[in-house]
Amino acid sequence: MLLIFWLVGGAVLALLLLLVLRVRVRFRLELQGKPARYEIRAGILNDALGLTWSGQGSSQAVIFSFGPVGLPFRKRKIQTASGGAKPASGQGLSRFIRRWESAAGFFMKAASRISWENVNVRCRLGFPDPAWTGMTCGMVSCLGTLPGKASLDLTPDFEQPGLSGMISAAVSFVPAVMLGEYLQHRLRDGAD
């Protein structure tokens, strides 16, 4: 009986410890060809414990890592459902708008609790009309230098239309603070 108490107590203590440690999340999206490739990594204790979710096209994988060792947790193909019931036009529109406003308010408040470590955008852009390509790249260059650790590298392609590139970002937050924001939001707005 005492062993069970210690095991449950240790698990609760470990969970509470994980809630107050800063979590670093890295996002990466690559646009090269038709199926986009994505990767999201979350880690704590300087990435000693981590979780990676990645995929390309219709396949995805989740890997749990402990130090340098990665263990596949789940690997599957995404099934797409065709058809299905469509809601009646206008049905529940006011409820949808109310929920949307509430969610937007929560995300705006929660975003202030997130530390943006870096944001990098690198892409190649081309329109069928080279004039549009030049005007768009010129307007983007007028934005000037981005603040903080953000970078934007836009390369015009006057010969071939298309968009390809890579977006990566790293953020960090404390889960207990985000959980507190969420609970405060739910108590204030109600469980609509």
Q: What is the spatial distance between Cα 185 and Cα 124, in angstroms, rounded to a whole number? A: 40
pLDDT averaged per 10 residues, the chain (length 192): 84 82 82 74 72 74 66 52 50 72 78 82 89 88 72 88 86 84 77 50
pLDDT number for residue 166: 87
Q: Determine phi and psi for 109, rounding to 5 degrees.
A: -70, -40
Residue 78, pLDDT score: 47
pLDDT at position 13, please?
Answer: 87
Cα 25 to Cα 175: distance, rounded to the nearest angstrom: 12
**CA-closest candidate to residue 27, choices 56, 52, 64:** 52
Q: What is the pLDDT of residue 33?
A: 66
pLDDT at 66: 67
pTM > 0.95: yes or no: no
Sequence letter at residue 144: G
Q: Are 64 and 71 in contact (CB under 8 A)?
A: yes
Q: How far apart, in whole angstroms, are the C-alpha atoms of residue 184 and residue 30?
A: 36
